[in-house]
Amino acid sequence: MTIQNTHPDRPGAIKGPATRKGAATRARLVRAARAVFAEKGFIQTRITDIATAADSANGTFYIYFDSKETALKAVTDEVIEEFLDTLRTDRPEASDPATVIAHDNRQYILAYRAHADIMRVIEQVATFNDEFAELRRTIRERFVDRAARSIEAWQSDGLCPADFSPRTMAGLLVAMVDNFSYNWLSLGHPYADDEIADAMTAIWVRSMRLGDSST
């Protein structure tokens, strides 16, 4: 399913005036959309809700966006960039694999916690909209790719067995972190905060049998 234009008189996404004032108005609408989507979810959000939260008229909204889908796309683009910025932090240098894994898992939790409300909305829309499903995959795939490169290096160095391909192991382990974070931080399932990062790291280390390269 692709994004549908819910305002047929205005086909396509409209960027609005290319002025400083226009940019400020659009930014205000995006902030308002982010807050309203986080509170109400995608289905229950109305364009009127976003316009009201931005202290704007519905007509102003349509200068910049042609539907609530395109407004959510603008929000999602910001969230993904912020999320990936958190994941881009430098890893500890000359560290053992367990330290690297612990660092990456903690950064992922930090990024997810900061955007848990919108991640919940993205998960919702990704179930029926192909574009948002692809955006959602972008976040996970960056983490999978990074983990796969590390696992490949560790296997090459003899730090863990090469029983499975790096990408398969990375995909499975990242899915654990990602899905757990969704249930914990977006859906509010209760867990002991002080245990989670360490438990995730222990699962990664044991699953890859780090330090045991025997066949």
CA pair distance 45, 67, nearest whole angstrom: 11
What residue ranges in the chain does DSSP mark as E strands?
none
* pLDDT tens per residue across span 5-61: 334 343 334 456 668 888 899 999 999 999 999 999 999 999 999 999 999 999 999
At residue 39's C-alpha, the angle toward residues 38 and 42, to 5°, is 65
CA pair distance 34, 10, nearest whole angstrom: 22
pLDDT band at 143 (very low <50, low <70, confident <90, very high): confident
pLDDT, position 17: 62
Q: Do residues 135 and 74 lie in contact, with contact meaning Cβ atoms separated by under 8 Å?
A: no
Give the rounded percent of residues in the chain with a pLDDT score beyond 90.
68
Which residues, at least 6 apart from 22, have a Cβ–Cβ distance to it below 8 Å?
A: 16, 64
* pLDDT tens per residue across span 79-109: 888 888 887 777 777 678 999 999 989 999 9
Please report the domains of the chain, with CATH numbers, ordered by start residue: 20-71 (1.10.10.60), 89-208 (1.10.357.10)
The DSSP annotation for 27-87 comes to: HHHHHHHHHHHHHHHHHH--HHHHHHHTT--HHHHHHH-SSHHHHHHHHHHHHHHHHHHHH
pTM: 0.79
CA pair distance 163, 50, nearest whole angstrom: 51
- The tokens describing 188, both together, are 């509010």
- The tokens describing 14, both together, are 């409209």
* pLDDT tens per residue across span 149-182: 999 999 999 999 999 999 999 999 999 999 999 9
